Structure 1
Amino acid sequence: MNNKNFIKLLLQNNAKIGNLPDKDLAHQFIDDIFQFLFIPKTGINQKEADLEKGMYALKSHLATLIYDVVNDGAKSQTQAESFFEALPDIYATLQEDAAAFVANDPAAYNVSQILQAYPGFYAIAVYRISNQLRKQDIRGLPRIFAEYAHSKTGIDIHPYATIGKNFL
């Protein structure tokens, strides 16, 4: 097979794969949203306006990732808005999960320790984010998030799994 035919074959196969977001940008989003939710900046008095800017940046980042999947600007904006409307409930559930760690793990002494040092909690947080996007019928992106968490923690929680509250 010559190079010209090989290039045509690659283009055909890439077209069959469909639209996927940039993995590095997806990984960056997960790290950024986790830090936004659970690792406050120390030594700096955070203001509400700073948090609002951070949320706006995250929403824009997510909309870009979703756009790479759905190829529709209006739909990607709507889906990102829907995700961020669900984020307070996700956050509350994750707080309950962290409390379950403290209540059931003798080595855990407070929620801050769980949020910053437990890979299991990180995997659960990524699962809950991924699961919400899966519920919104966003394809591909939830699995990229889950695989990233798996690569960082060794813990694989499929985005289609059904997990209740207070999970440890």
Structure 2
Amino acid sequence: MIDSLIIRRRSVRKYSPDPVSEEILETCLDAARMAPSACNSQPWFFHVCRSEKAKNAVADAMNSGIYGRGLNRFVQEAPVIVAVETLKREKTAPWLAGMVRNVRYETMDVAIAVDHLTLKAAELGLGTCWIGWFNEMAVRAALGLPKTSRLDVMLTVGWPDDRPRPKKRKDRENIRRYL
């Protein structure tokens, strides 16, 4: 079952206008909530934009400035836009370990949580698309967040209105080495 889900999950850039219920969104957010994180710090917060006013403000902010060259115009059509805030570490151990290794564990933790969310969404028939190219400063302002907050990823969510394309992936020989 997990194999077919992993294969089925894809980036969707064309959505049906049909709304996504709060109940379904909560199911997806619960999947994200269950994700592992360094020292169980759970450094994520999900700003779920469903109202037309919030979605339009966030979509306009995402695509403003140099980010508005057409790459992510499809976000305007998504029934839901999720801004994922990466929270500051409350626990010392992962922060210190990250400093020593020069690794941002909180960013990895957020990515795992978002992946859990996208896989649950795929299981429920929803489409999602990770977005990393957006005007973070403008989105923070649209959401009323302080300048110190961090938004590393945005996500669109909705019912797909397109046909899946075949996945093009590297051959196994090009992605691994056994020792």
Q: Which has the higher contact order (CA 8 A, sep 6+)?
A: 2
Larger proportion of strand? 2
The TM-score normalised by the length of structure 1 is 0.31
- Kindly name which structure, 1 or 2, has the bigger radius of gyration based on alpha carbons: 1
Larger proportion of helix? 1
